[in-house]
C-alpha cells in the first residue's frame, strides 16, 4: 500500500455545482415524492422533493460555484484516471468488467452505505490546498477572531456561560457579528491566513429551453501557485509509462521520474485540471491537529473539561442530532445529492438522486462540548454506519481536548 499526493491545479476558472443551478427539477409526482420523503426521514437526508410551485422557482438566472470540489468529485476523478490507465475509453459505456470492478470498486459512493469498497482506492484524505513549496492550507476554523490586524489564525480567547431556552450555552466574548466570516484558508505551519480563491462572472443566453433569456454563472479561480490536494492510499503500482496498475496483478513499481502528470476534467463545466502525483508521507490530519493544539493552548472555558471539535472536511451528520449536547457552534452547511453510475442491459448510465438531499456541516465548522466524552459520543452518533464516507475523506474531525492551563487556573 502506497500513499500518493494528488495535486489538482485548475487550468482555467472552474464551476462546482450545488442546489442553486440554472436547471429545473422534474415535475412533481405527489405519491412518489411522499414515499421519498418518508425514506429520507429514516436516513440523515433532508427531503427536498419539489412541489409544482417550487419547480418553476428552481430555474434561476444566476448560479454560483462552490469554492472547492467535494470529496466525492475527487473520488470520481481518481476512479476515472485508474480506468483510463487500464484501457477504458471515455466513449466506452459498456458495463464494467470484473478487472475494472476490482480496480475501482463495484458501486458508486452513497452516504448511507457503510460497506462500499472502492477497489484499489483504500482511503482519501480531506481536501486541502497546497502551494509550490508543499505548504498545506486547511479551511479556516470558524472560531477565528476576524480582524484586519490578525494575519494569523487567532481563535476566540474566552468563552462565558449563558442561560437560554435550550439550557446553558457558551458564547465567545470576542465575537463580533459585523466582522465575522469569510471563507478562507490557514496554513498548518504557523497559521498564516491566505485568501486564495476569487470569482469571475460569465454571462450566457438560454437558447434551447422554453424560458429563453440571459443567465449568469459565477465561476471560481484558484490563485496562481496553489492547487487543490488530497492524499490517497492506493493498492497500486506505477509502470514505466506512468500508468497506475492494480498491485494484485502488477506487483512491480517501475516508474521513477516523479511526478506522474495527468489531466482531469472536473465540475459542471468540465473544467480542465492539471494533475501531478507524488509519493508522500504527509499526514494532513496530524498537521491540522498540531496547529489546533498549539493555537488553543490559551483558550479559556467556564470548565476545564470543555472540548472543541473542528471539521477538517465536510461532514454528514443527522439533522436531529446535529447540535445535540453542543454548547457553542460556529458552522456553515453545504448541500449534497448523490450522483451514481448504474448498469442496465449491459450499459452504464448516470443518475442523480433528487429524492434525498444531505445537508453537510462544511469544512471549517467548529463545535464546543462539555467534555471529551460528550464530543466523542456526538461524533459516534452522527457518523456510525458511514465508513465509506470516512474512507473517501468526509467526516474528518479534529478534537482539541481539555487544557492543562485551565486546570491550573481553577
Q: What tens digit of pLDDT does each residue of 253-293 get?
A: 889 899 999 999 998 888 999 999 999 999 999 999 999 99
CA distances to 294, 324, 326, 396 from 372, rounded to whole Å, are 18, 14, 12, 16
Of 342 and 252, the structure prediction assigns the larger pLDDT to: 252
Which three three-digit cell numbers place residue 59?
430555474
Q: Which of 191-195, 298-302, 389-393 has the lowest mean pLDDT?
A: 191-195
Average confidence score pLDDT of the chain: 84
Cβ neighbours of residue 298 closer than 8 Å, sequence gap 6 or more: 157, 405
Q: In what order do the strands lie in the sheet with 397-400?
A: 326-330, 366-369, 307-311, 397-400
Determine contact, residues 306/326, Cβ cutoff 8 Å. no
Cβ neighbours of residue 253 closer than 8 Å, sequence gap 6 or more: 2, 237, 238
The pLDDT > 90 percentage for the chain reads 55
Determine contact, residues 11/227, Cβ cutoff 8 Å. no
pLDDT digits (tens, 9 = 90+) for 124-167: 999 999 999 999 999 999 999 887 777 889 999 999 999 988 88
- What predicted TM-score, i.e. pTM, was given to this entire model? 0.85
Residue 212 has pLDDT above 90, yes or no: no
Residue 193 has pLDDT above 50, yes or no: yes
Cα gap 146→142, rounded to integer Å: 9
CA distances to 324, 327, 377 from 368, rounded to whole Å, are 11, 6, 13
Cα gap 298→165, rounded to integer Å: 30
Residue 84 has pLDDT above 90, yes or no: yes
Determine contact, residues 14/272, Cβ cutoff 8 Å. no
Which three three-digit cell numbers place residue 331?
458552522
| Residue among 192, 144, 193, 153 at smallest CA distance from 172 | 144
Cβ neighbours of residue 234 closer than 8 Å, sequence gap 6 or more: 1, 2, 4, 120, 121, 122, 244
Residue 57 region by backbone torsions, left for phi larger than 0, else alpha for psi between -120 and 50, else beta: alpha
Cα gap 91→167, rounded to integer Å: 59
73: enclosing H helix or E strand: helix 71-85
Specify the pLDDT at position 190: 80
Question: What's the distance, CA 23 to chain centroid?
Answer: 23
Instruction: Tell me the pLDDT band of 55, cut-offs 50, 70 and 90.
Output: very low
Amino acid at each position: 500500500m502506497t500513499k500518493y499526493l494528488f495535486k489538482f491545479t485548475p487550468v482555467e476558472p472552474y464551476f462546482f455545482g450545488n442546489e442553486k443551478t440554472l436547471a429545473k427539477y422534474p415535475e412533481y409526482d405527489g405519491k412518489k415524492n411522499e414515499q421519498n420523503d418518508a425514506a429520507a426521514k429514516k436516513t440523515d437526508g433532508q427531503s427536498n422533493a419539489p412541489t409544482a410551485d417550487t419547480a418553476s422557482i428552481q430555474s434561476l438566472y444566476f448560479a454560483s460555484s462552490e469554492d472547492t470540489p467535494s470529496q466525492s468529485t475527487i473520488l470520481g476523478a481518481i476512479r476515472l484516471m485508474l480506468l483510463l490507465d487500464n484501457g477504458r475509453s471515455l466513449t466506452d459505456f459498456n458495463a464494467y468488467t470484473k478487472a475494472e470492478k476490482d480496480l475501482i470498486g463495484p458501486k458508486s459512493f452513497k452516504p448511507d452505505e457503510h460497506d462500499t469498497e472502492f477497489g484499489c482506492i483504500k482511503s482519501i484524505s480531506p481536501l486541502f490546498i497546497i502551494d509550490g513549496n508543499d505548504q498545506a492550507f486547511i479551511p479556516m476554523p470558524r472560531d477565528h477572531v476576524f480582524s484586519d490586524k490578525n494575519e494569523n489564525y487567532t481563535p476566540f480567547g474566552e468563552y462565558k456561560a449563558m442561560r437560554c431556552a435550550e439550557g446553558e450555552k457558551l458564547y465567545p466574548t470576542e465575537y463580533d457579528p459585523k466582522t465575522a466570516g469569510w471563507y478562507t484558508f490557514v496554513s498548518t505551519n504557523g497559521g498564516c491566513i491566505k485568501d486564495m480563491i476569487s470569482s469571475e462572472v460569465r454571462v450566457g443566453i438560454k437558447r434551447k429551453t422554453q424560458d429563453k433569456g440571459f443567465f449568469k454563472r459565477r465561476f471560481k479561480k484558484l490563485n496562481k501557485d496553489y492547487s487543490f490536494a488530497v492524499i490517497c492510499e492506493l493498492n497500486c503500482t506505477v509502470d514505466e509509462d506512468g500508468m497506475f496498475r492494480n498491485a494484485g496483478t502488477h506487483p512491480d513499481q517501475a516508474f521513477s521520474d516523479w511526478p506522474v502528470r495527468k489531466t482531469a476534467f472536473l465540475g459542471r463545466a468540465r473544467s480542465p485540471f492539471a494533475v501531478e502525483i507524488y509519493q508522500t508521507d504527509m499526514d494532513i490530519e496530524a498537521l491540522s491537529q498540531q496547529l489546533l493544539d498549539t493555537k488553543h493552548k490559551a483558550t479559556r472555558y467556564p470548565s476545564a473539561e470543555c472540548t472543541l471539535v473542528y471539521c477538517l472536511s465536510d461532514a454528514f451528520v443527522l439533522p436531529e442530532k446535529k447540535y445535540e449536547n453542543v454548547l457553542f457552534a460556529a458552522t456553515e452547511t453545504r448541500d449534497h445529492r448523490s450522483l451514481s453510475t448504474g448498469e442496465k442491459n449491459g450499459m452504464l448510465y448516470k443518475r442523480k438522486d433528487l429524492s434525498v438531499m444531505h445537508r453537510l456541516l462544511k469544512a471549517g465548522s467548529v463545535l464546543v462540548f462539555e467534555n471529551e466524552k460528550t464530543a466523542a459520543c456526538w461524533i459516534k452518533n452522527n457518523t456510525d454506519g458511514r465508513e465509506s464516507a470516512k474512507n473517501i475523506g468526509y467526516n474528518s474531525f479534529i478534537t482539541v481536548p481539555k487544557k492543562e492551563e485551565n486546570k491550573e487556573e481553577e
